[in-house]
Amino acid sequence: MSSSSGRSLRLVEQRRAEFALQRLQEALAESENSQYQHTQLKSYLRRLPAMIQMNGFGQAMAFYFAKRTNYAAYGVIYKLLEDWLCGDGAVYAGQAVTPGLHPAEPVLLQALMSQDQHHYRRATAETQAMLAWAKKFAEALIVKDDVEEAR
């Protein structure tokens, strides 16, 4: 591996980490009792990689989008992935994404249905890489359920 490709890879990882950390901090800045419990966010982040492996990326994203109205933490995770995958230079760049922490339209789902298999596979791999960072940061930033489980 050349030094430039190593540097490029590291920069992609750094961008993923920075994006995940920023989004989790924004979500955690919302009041614990306002829309969801932070522990739900941590739990749903833990579950998603396995759900993607068992059910497929599109089905997992459809599930998270559908659940967003009753459990806002699902929406926060869906929106994190939508913004990452549909952002500038991403797999589905050019999709019109609405600002904010909570999704209004299924932009990512529409992108999944309109692109080819190559894009779908790239999006799945990119999502798993992003979730690795999001889970690490959630584990570090959300300690409440660990304390309650220890009792």
What tokens appear for 8 in the block? 């490029």
Q: What is the pLDDT of residue 29?
A: 87
Q: Long-range CB contacts (< 8 A, 24+ apart) of 70-73?
A: 71/36, 71/40, 71/44, 72/35, 72/36, 72/102, 73/27, 73/36, 73/37, 73/40, 73/41, 73/43, 73/44
Q: What is the pLDDT of residue 8?
A: 67
Q: What is the pLDDT of residue 78?
A: 96
Tens of pLDDT along the chain (151 residues)? 455 566 666 688 999 999 999 999 998 887 665 556 788 999 999 999 999 999 999 999 999 999 998 888 999 999 999 999 998 888 898 877 666 656 678 899 999 999 999 999 999 999 999 999 999 999 999 876 544 443 3
Which residues, including other chains, have CB under 8 Å from residue 16's CB and lie 6 or more apart?
84, 129, 130, 133
Q: What is the pLDDT of residue 93?
A: 86
Q: What is the pLDDT of residue 147?
A: 41
In this structure, CATH architecture of domain 12-141: Orthogonal Bundle (1.10)
Q: What is the pLDDT of residue 100?
A: 63
pTM of the full structure: 0.83
At 143, give phi and psi (nearest 5°).
-110, -5
* Per-domain boundaries in the chain: 12-141
Yes or no: say if 17 and 134 are a contact pair by the CB < 8 Å rule: no
Q: What is the pLDDT of residue 148?
A: 45
Q: What is the pLDDT of residue 151?
A: 39
**CA 5 distance to own-chain centroid:** 25
Q: What is the pLDDT of residue 88?
A: 83
- CA terminus-to-terminus distance, the chain: 48
Whole-angstrom Cα distance, residue 71 to residue 19?
22
Which residues, including other chains, have CB under 8 Å from residue 145's CB and lie 6 or more apart?
39, 42, 43
